[in-house]
Amino acid sequence: MSQDPSSLTATLRVALQHHALAGRVAFLEGDASIDYAHFAQRVDRYAAGFANTGLPQGAFVGIASPKTLDCVAALFGAMVAGLCPTIMEARISPSELASRMSAVGMTLLACADGEWSQAIEDALALVGASTVALTSLDSTQAVTLPALQATDRALLLYTSGSTGRPKGVVLSHGNLLANAQGVLAHTGVTEADRLLHIMPLHHTNGINNQLIVPLLAGAQVALVERFRADDIVDCLRRYRPTYVTGVPTMYSRMLPKLEAGERFESLRFLRCGSAPITPALHEAIEAAFGVPLVVSYGLSEATCTTTMNPPHARKVGSIGTVLEGQELALFQPGGDERVAAGQDGEIRIRGPALMQGYVGADVESPIVDGWLRTGDLGRFDAEGYVTITGRIKDVIIRGGENLSPGLIENQLAKHPSVKECCVVGVADADLGEVPVAFVVPRSGEELHIEALREHVLTGLSRVYVPARIVVVASLPTSHVGKVDRKVLRRMAGEPSTEAAA
């Protein structure tokens, strides 16, 4: 029985064999070059190893490993074997690891060298789970692999969303393939491309857009174990990528490391997603690299990416146009009516990329009547480009007026002495809620609070002026580089030792 061609692994295995016959290189890892033929063999060997674990089809399995070729081959090998793998976030405690596995009924964790510890083994034993050495699953034994369909489970992602507690997002083979096909059509990635992979593998972008997409296209992937701003220029010179994907914080930290005027001739575009980016930072990145920065938007619950700026026609401030095969519409928040043209509405997504559902947490599904309710506010322009205008839960209601933190952040970011900023709402006895801004000065620059307040007034009305402006050395970030607004809200409610007004 053959696999359904609409399953991710069936499509991927055909692509790997095609690229192997063409003699293409799949990965660059340190000084090593791994061709598609070798990688395809590694995937098949790991598929055999996972098939021999005795886990039933669709079972969740964890992989604890740095970003290596073995980790990537094991991830796809587990999928080929009919399992639903997840890459575990690095440096989480044994108790949290056990909690996540127990919540979804996961009983096996494959550990790379250096990732196993007795503390992990003991914590997993308490929840009826165990570990196995990752390399022990690299098997040459002949096995019968399951026939997989588009609806079969393929990938488990952990996301905390707005709840603060991790929950599992279950994605099918059809979900992964739909996302990849849309991204390929939008970006035009081909076998001539080379991606510099700097994102973590437990993040949806690190897998869906930075492994599946280039592998289907026959492109090369230069694996960088983890992002370090100090090493990024050496990586760009060494690997000569045609594109890089990161989050705004990564690019912000790259900028001071670049040599003035240096250009990387191999680059054709940069990609950015997973968190909002101000127009000021967007323009600074393009000026420094000399190539377009392509901003995209998506959620794990919709596999990865729903909108993206075309590399040849990007618009600063926009999250781009809707990917082929997906549908995005704007609705009245909390209602079922679509908003009129030119108006803001809640972004809702429909199509084959929507997750199968949550697992491991008793939370309500955000998919209602076939539409994923994102909680983000946006608007379309006349050419079909979408702009994020705020987030329903982040909207600051000051004296009955709805204020968008993004508008204030964009205005503050235009000040020449501001490097980064973030605005959150805090409770106020009189107005109900007021904005508080956290700003990071550029190196060697001194920020004057009153000057910043006046600067906000040059572009926005008085109600947008932050009640307080707090100068900090850096903004707190999550494990994938997003600014952590929850931490800032806590900071805003505490006495500050930094400059404030």
Q: What is the DSSP letter of 500?
A: B
Other beta carbons less than 10 A from residue 444's beta carbon: 6
176-391 and 396-492 share one CATH topology?
Answer: no
Q: Which of 385, 377, 367, 370 shows the shortest CA–CA distance to 330?
A: 377
What does the DSSP assignment read for 106-161? --EEEE-TTT--HHHHHHHHTTT-EEEEGGGG------PPPPP-TTSEEEEEEE-T
Q: Which fold has domain 396-492?
A: GMP Synthetase; Chain A, domain 3 (3.30.300)
- What local confidence, expressed as pLDDT, does residue 500 receive? 38
- Contact yes or no for 27/225 (Cβ under 8 A): no
Q: Kindly list the domain boundaries of the chain, sorted by start residue.
A: 8-172, 176-391, 396-492
The CATH class, in words, for 8-172 is alpha beta
SS3 state at 490: helix
Q: What is the pTM of this model?
A: 0.83
205 phi and psi angles, rounded to 5 deg: -65, -35
Per-residue pLDDT of the chain (501 residues; tens, 9 = 90+): 345 667 999 999 999 999 999 999 999 999 999 999 999 999 999 999 999 999 999 999 999 999 999 999 999 999 999 999 999 988 888 988 999 999 999 999 999 999 999 999 999 999 999 999 999 999 999 899 999 999 999 999 998 654 456 789 999 999 999 999 999 999 999 999 999 999 999 999 999 999 999 999 999 999 999 899 889 889 999 999 999 999 888 898 899 999 888 899 999 999 998 777 888 889 999 999 999 999 999 999 999 999 999 999 999 999 999 999 999 999 998 889 999 888 889 999 999 999 999 999 888 899 999 999 999 999 999 999 999 987 787 778 787 676 878 889 989 999 999 999 999 999 887 787 899 999 999 988 889 999 999 999 988 888 889 999 999 999 998 876 788 888 999 998 864 433 333
Distance CA 356, CA 177 (A): 14
- Tell me which of 2.40.50.140, 3.40.50.12170, 3.30.70.940, 3.40.50.12780 is the CATH number of domain 176-391: 3.40.50.12780
